[in-house]
A and B are shown apart, each in its own frame.
Chain A
């Protein structure tokens, strides 16, 4: 009988021990002070970390702070007085333009950035010649590392897309995949994303959409889907808008039922819409675009 090599058994045993050691080190030394994955078993931790852009984002932020040289002399106090309020909000338009009648061609210079719900809109309810940079599972944390393509452009990153093409209006519809994270971290990453978009497209109006509600049963399935949590995040998102070049629209004013949830007859899994739901959503975006008073 041919002798059976020890390769497989040895490889599995040794690699398992190594992964366990790495996991234990990450869990107890690196991630514990940050309160990341406190409940996870050590075998899962390395893999979770690899896949979790939010945790990586926090880790990178911590590492960057540590890398900064420690101040050798007292820091110069900031020159502007922080308490002085600006007399006039700088971005507020001086006079409010009238509500305009919006047709589908209004969307010809629009880019939608979003997760699987936007993928649904892209596949079942395109608006005019709008373009869609969206991907299933996109989060605020991984938006900048996500590759996506649409009918007018090959798979690319958001940064490349915004460098190569220009848009008059950019909708951002993200956040449902991030709602389990601390709100401060989440809003930080939202601000990073806005900074990127603004830097590449200084003249476009950015429209932030609230996180769309989930159904009642979905909301009960996990604390982070609860309406209290989602509404609290939406308030923070709304605060990112300035009424000028960054706007906020609340989709839940339209879609949510009287209890604030996504109606059951619009969804199969409590989160995604049926095809006609995407069409209705797109129609709502079209109908409400006039209120934005953007030509």
Chain B
């Protein structure tokens, strides 16, 4: 069950909120666990065993945390971590990942972080099983994060009562996220679909760039919108989830981009892989090796296909280059660094967007105009005409300014009316775009 579904917005969420806000505070953790597990069951398309794996791994993590705290037993930690790694590798590799339970990479990483921090004696492990379970299975962040810093997660185990302010602000975030995903990302997906419909070899070079731009924005607003929805839902229930996107397209280098993009995943790899490997403290050769290891795992985390390794490898080279030579130069510029970043990030999404090697090379060929021929040299004008408004809105929303403006007006009636309209516009698109014999817009 996705957040942007009628079932979630008008059935699961109101029912859950009603129960959660009415029952006595001491029962809330139990209700949260029940709610999260039901959410997971409903998300699983009949794969009830998903919820089983989640419940068992959560309980195991709880007891493992308690046992690790008694003494810093490295072997035990290694055992737990290998178990988790094996479980994830099994599902990711088994039958190409189609049996992978949704969100498993997220919650297993969350559990691993918790155990490592307990082992490092950063805090006393949580003793309240219900509170711990409620936080690990917390449905707003279950499927796609954000991942939590374990200390913050543990703080959340102390009971929270949402205020009306939380509820209102959370609802606002939820609607903004929903709008970004449904009104912007999904529709830009229509533009990205065009090149593959018409055949990559037949598109013009400007059309190829337009398509790549559309994919880039679709990916960003899809994940950003989703993360805002998760944050909003958390806030409505009284919990502060971390920000996952910090205006990445305003970054002045690729390194900075990945400190602002999917922030919580980057933070995980830094804290639990890069720094333990020595980070940048052991000389430049070791730093490069460490970066390579981190990006290898980042690639694998996204998928086991060669295209993800290509994506990660390309980024890794860019980042190493910035660290060795380009970074200092970029810092001296104001505009060029942004142009460079957006340009190389656009290119980096190609293997992410097109998994098939042959198709990818054809697309790159069209992008730089050295193979194939445009069937209609003015195709970009047709697409541009159809999608100009969406693209313009996307570009503006990828800058930090709308957020700043929003912070100024968010408590006004105008803001509420605007969100009300956006909400129903999004619901309209969700309701009418469903797979249904009586309605399919796409042809």
Contact = CB atoms under 8 A, between A and B. Distances in A.
Interface of A: 1-2, 4-5, 7-9, 11-12, 15-16, 20, 36-37, 40-41, 43-44, 47-48, 50-52, 54-55, 115-117, 120, 123-125, 136-137, 176-177, 180-181, 222-224, 268-269, 271-272, 274-276, 278-279
Given A15-B424, A124-B375, A124-B376, A177 B431 contact: no
B199 A268 contact: yes
Interface stretch (B61-69, B121-129, B433-441): B433-441
5 contacts: A7-B413, A11-B420, A50-B428, A137-B442, A177-B440
A263 to B, nearest CB: 14
Interface string B185-204: 00000000100111100110
B443 A117 contact: yes
Nearest to B169: A4
Nearest to A179: B437
A16 B423 CA distance: 11
B376 A123 contact: yes
Interface string B133-177: 000000000000000000000000000000011011101100000
A2 B411 contact: yes
A106 to B, nearest CB: 22
Given A9-B171, A48-B432, A123-B379, A222 B437 contact: yes
B7 interface: yes
B370 interface: no
Contacts of B416: 5, 7-8, 11
B165 A4 contact: yes
A15 B432 CA distance: 18
Contact of A51 (B11, B169, B411, B439): B439
A136 B432 contact: no
A120 B198 contact: yes
Interface of B: 6-7, 10-11, 14, 164-165, 167-169, 171-172, 193, 196-199, 202-203, 375-376, 379, 382, 411, 413, 416-417, 419-420, 423-424, 427-428, 431-432, 434-443
B437 A43 contact: no
Given A4-B168, A41-B6, A276-B202, A48 B439 contact: yes
Given A55-B438, A123-B379, A177-B440, A9 B424 contact: no
A47 B428 contact: yes
Contacts of A37: 438
A137 B420 contact: no
Contact of B375 (A11, A136, A272, A275): A275
B406 to A, nearest CB: 14
Contact of A8 (B7, B168, B431): B168
A269 B194 CA distance: 10
Nearest to A2: B411
A48 B438 contact: yes
A109 B165 CA distance: 66
Given A123-B382, A268-B197, A275-B199, A48 B431 contact: yes
Nearest to A267: B197
A4 B437 contact: no
A52 B432 CA distance: 8
Given A4-B164, A44-B434, A12 B197 contact: no
Minimum-distance CB pairs A-B, first 9:
A180-B437, A275-B375, A275-B202, A274-B199, A47-B431, A44-B431, A8-B416, A51-B432, A7-B416
Give the most central of A55, A176, A272: most B CB within 10 Å.
Answer: A272
Nearest to A54: B438
B202 to A, nearest CB: 3
A41 B6 CA distance: 8
A47 B168 contact: no
Nearest to B434: A44
A275 B168 contact: no
A129 to B, nearest CB: 17
A16 B442 CA distance: 28
B202 A274 contact: yes
Give the most central of A120, A181, A275, A276: most B CB within 10 Å.
Answer: A275
